[in-house]
Amino acid sequence: MTFSIKILTVTLGVILGLGLSVPKSFAFNDDEQSEIEAIVHNYLIENPQILEEMIAAMKFQEAFSAQKKAKDIIVEKYDAIFYPGAAFVTGNPKGDVTLVEFFDYTCVFCRKSLPDLEKLINTDPNLRVVFIDFPALRGRNPTSMVATRASVAAAQQEGKYAAYHFKMMGTKSGLTEKAIVRIAGEVGLDVEQLTKDMNAPETYARIDANMELARDLGIDGTPTFIVGDQVIAGAVGYDLLKAEIDEVRRKAAAAKTKAD
What's the whole-model pTM score? 0.75
**With contact defined as beta carbons under 8 Å apart, do 227 and 127 qualify?**
no
Query: Where do the structural domains in the chain lie, given as residue ranges?
Result: 3-47, 78-258
Over residues 6-15, the pLDDT tens digits come to: 444 445 454 4
Q: Cα(192)–Cα(241) distance, rounded to whole angstroms?
A: 38
In CATH, the number for domain 78-258 is: 3.40.30.10
Q: Cα(247)–Cα(243) distance, rounded to whole angstroms?
A: 6
CA distances from 56 to 14, 43, 64, 93, 156 (A): 17, 19, 12, 41, 47
* Phi, psi (degrees; rounded to nearest 5) at 226: -125, 125
**Count of residues making up the chain:** 260
Higher pLDDT, 46 or 170: 170
H/E stretch holding 69: helix 49-76
In the chain, what is the greatest distance between 2 CA atoms, to the nearest angstrom? 85
Over residues 149-180, the pLDDT tens digits come to: 999 999 999 999 999 999 999 998 778 999 99
Q: Cα(154)–Cα(198) distance, rounded to whole angstroms?
A: 8
- Band of the pLDDT at 100, cuts 50, 70, 90? very high
Over residues 56-78, the mean pLDDT reads: 72
CA torsion through residues 112, 117, 119, 122, sign:
negative
H/E stretch holding 43: helix 30-46
Lowest-confidence pick of 26-30, 73-77, 242-246: 26-30
Of 182, 112, 99, nearest to 147 (Cα)?
A: 182
